Amino acid sequence: MIKSKIDKVTSFEKRFEKINTVIFESSEVASKAAAAEIATLIKKKQKAKEMCVLGLATGSTPKRLYAELVRLHKEENLSFKNVIAFNLDEYYPMEPDAIQSYVRFMKELLFNHVDIEPENYHIPDGTLEKKDIADYCKEYEAKIDALGGIDLQILGIGGNGHIGFNESGSLPNSKTRLVTLDHITRVAASKDFQGLYNTPKTAITLGIKQIMQAKQVILMAWGEGKSSIIKASVEGPITEQVPASYLQEHPNSVFILDNGSSSKLTRVSTPWIVEKVEWNEKMIKKAVVGLALRLEKPVLMLTEADYIENGMSDLLTEVGDAYDINIRIFNKLQHTITGWPGGKPNADDSNRPERANPAKKRVLIFSPHPDDDIISMGGTFMRLQNQGHEVHVAYQTSGNIAVADDEALRFSDFVIDYNRSFGLDNRKSIEIYKKATEFIKNKKTSEIDIEEVRNIKGLIRRSEARATSYYVGLTDEQIHFNDLPFYETGTIEKNPPGEEDIKITMDLIEKIKPHQIYAAGDLADPHGTHKVCLDIIFEALKRLKTKSYMKDCWLWLYRGAWQEWDIEDIEMAVPMSPSQVLAKRYGIFKHQSQKDGVVFQGSDSREFWQRAEDRNKETATKYDELGLAHYAAMEAFVRYHF
């Protein structure tokens, strides 16, 4: 399946792409294609009565791949009896039963669910004495060599281009070894270790040389967060600063991507340079906006020479002269700007992003975590409330894992003092406090918070979310805590969404019967919660689609602290004045547990209010650069048609 798609890559694309690259609509579809490739190889080897040697990766990227392989085993009788697996890497030091251990990861996601022989899977040992690691690594490679090498190597890619834990600076002849992890890699991994301080500084990794000797290599990448490094790896020069670029010299390698991770490749970002395109409205807007930003010119200042010199002469031929195209796109951009996100009453709405009627709308804002509403669309949230709409907010998850342990103890201690101060019975509170203190004091990185600690952390986030909603002007009847069950595992790794999650969401939509729904479309969230929450909303809406009130319901997607919509995709831009920017900042400050050192900061060291402010200002700046009105900040939305 992958092979047939590769054959369709044009010679024009190959001018830019130095590695075979296949783009799928989603990571789910892509993972199934990769699993089918592995299954075909395993069966081929079985038929020849040979062992199939697989090189396997860990991390979030291959999870769906392993789920599909498990399904193929259970439902289609794919046997792993002839499979020998070698994993790429392991943190060091690392106990095999720790939550973050790749031994545990591989067993829980694959090995425990298929019929591979236990002696046939190999994962670097994170418990070795440091003096023994060099000899161990030689033996690890010798085992692979004795089997004739790896038949198929699965890879992910790090934000700095690392493959395995071969960080920037790794040479092509590097062998299996103990490495020091790049700061970027540690920051990305810190979400699994309750912060950077607890994240290992070293790891054992298969070397570049062994990876390049694999007979076939499949590198997978998902999401817009990987788009820049994918472009550098596929289209850039071969360099030790981007180890994945070495795969340009591999005779049988392929990058399997989804729409997000491929978004900066030339054939995706500027397809008219690669091949003849259909100049529809979406493509014209993308091309013109991109050209204006690249040339640092307002849209109305673009000339025919600009179009011709940048590979867009076909647009002039098919659509018209530069002046008319400029006016057309300028007007489209202008029409996305509105100070009335709920629609302007008694106004012509033919060129407005939202309907004028009904003048007073029922609005439902879904917030995956307890602060996404104010961080991502706080200005719009306040404006909808101030303009008289009936605004409801639904906090989809408790967000309890994002509260530091000392915050939980501080609030528990406050309850004890509160009870003591007012003469209330304190026995149960003291008992809980002692239990929580004892647990946290002796807590190991492999341990999940006990129920009492999780509850305390959840209550902290709930009180902060309620404080924000009060600040905006909502009443208790307009604040909804869904506490979706999929989230409540106590770990970063969540359960798959289930029927109860969907039912809770459907019941709330049925109760409110909204004219507008706002949901987080920020799929770059590194923890994956946003994606799951959005999938639950999509499924709920799919099931409710035939309800009479749904014909009047519009779904708007916002993005959060991690990224913003591209200008050409924005369908509603809500401007903010300097005072509104400050009001939003103060709303974010209500979430005190998320200030001054967030537990899961991601790779961005700025606090969430700073990220949101900078992002909103950047959007406004881009509109200004395109020749439109200059605002202090803007929040952006894309309408989703369901």
Predicted TM-score (pTM) of this structure = 0.85
Which pair of structure tokens corresponds to residue 217?
A: 């290599």
Has residue 602 got a pLDDT over 60? Answer: no
Q: How far is 311 from 302, CA to CA, in rounded Å?
A: 14
The alpha carbon dihedral of 37, 39, 40, 46 has a sign of positive
Strands 633-640 and 554-558 turn out to be antiparallel
Reported confidence tier of residue 524, pLDDT bands at 50, 70, 90? low
Average pLDDT over residues 248-253: 97
* Structure confidence by residue, pLDDT tens digits, 171-181: 999 999 999 99
pLDDT confidence bin for 605, thresholds 50/70/90:
low
Per-residue confidence (pLDDT) for residue 596, from 0 to 100: 63
Most confident of the following: 186-195, 352-361, 435-444, 598-607: 352-361
CATH topology for the 21-267 domain: Rossmann fold (3.40.50)
Equal fold, 21-267 vs 362-402+450-640: yes
What is the tens place of the pLDDT at every residue in 22-43? 999 989 999 999 999 999 999 9
CA dist 532 to 284, 502, 603, Å? Answer: 33, 11, 21
Residue 191 has pLDDT above 80, yes or no: no
| Phi-psi region at 528: left, alpha or beta (left = phi > 0; alpha = psi -120 to 50) | left
Distances (CA, A) of 20 to 161, 219, 238, 275, 302: 17, 10, 15, 17, 35
Residue 13 in this model has a pLDDT that exceeds 60: no
Chain-wide mean pLDDT for the chain? 92
How far is residue 584's CA from residue 589's CA, in Å, rounded to a whole number?
A: 9
Q: Which residue has the higher pLDDT, 241 or 562?
A: 241
Q: Is the per-residue pLDDT at 628 higher than 80?
A: yes
What's the average model confidence in pLDDT over 625-640? 97
Question: What per-residue confidence (pLDDT) applies to 1?
Answer: 47
What one-letter code names the amino acid at 113?
Answer: H
Count Cβ atoms below 10 Å from residue 278 Cβ, excluding itself.
Answer: 8
pLDDT tens-digit map of 260-273: 999 999 999 999 99
Q: If DSSP states are collapsed to H, E and C, what string results for 194-244? A: CCHHHCCCEEEECCHHHHHCCCCEEEEECCHHHHHHHHHHHHCCCECCEHH
Query: Which amino acid is present at 527?
Result: H
78-89 average pLDDT score: 98
Residue 5: is its pLDDT beyond 60? no
Q: How far apart are CA 463 and CA 78, in angstroms?
A: 50
CATH topology of domain 362-402+450-640: Rossmann fold (3.40.50)
Amino acid symbol at 310: N
3-state secondary structure 303-369: CHHHHHHCCCHHHHHHHCCHHHHHHHHHHHHHHHECCCCCCCCCCCCCCCCCCCCCCCCEEEEEECC
Quick count: other Cβ atoms within 10 Å of Cβ 260? 20
Question: Long-range contacts: 442-449, Cβ < 8 Å, 24+?
Answer: 443/405, 444/98, 445/98, 445/99, 445/100, 445/193, 445/194, 445/198, 446/95, 446/97, 446/98, 446/99, 446/100, 446/101, 447/99, 448/99, 448/489, 448/490, 448/491, 449/400, 449/401, 449/490
Show Cβ contacts of residue 540 under 8 Å, excluding neighbours closer than 6 positions. Answer: 502, 505, 506, 509
Mean pLDDT of 214-221: 98
Percent of residues in the chain assigned helix, strand, coil, to nearest 5: 50, 15, 40
Active-site pick, 68, 167, 390, 464: 167
Report the C-alpha gap between 372 and 609 in whole angstroms.
11
Q: Is 167 a catalytic residue?
A: yes
Domain ranges, ordered by start, for the chain: 21-267, 270-336, 362-402+450-640
pLDDT at residue 101 in the model = 93
Q: What is the pLDDT of residue 236?
A: 97
Band (pLDDT 50/70/90 cuts) for residue 446 is low
Q: Is 426 within 8 Å of 419 (Cβ atoms)?
A: yes
CB-based contacts of 290-296 (< 8 A; 24+ apart in sequence)? 290/568, 292/625, 292/626, 292/627, 293/567, 293/622, 293/625, 293/626, 296/625
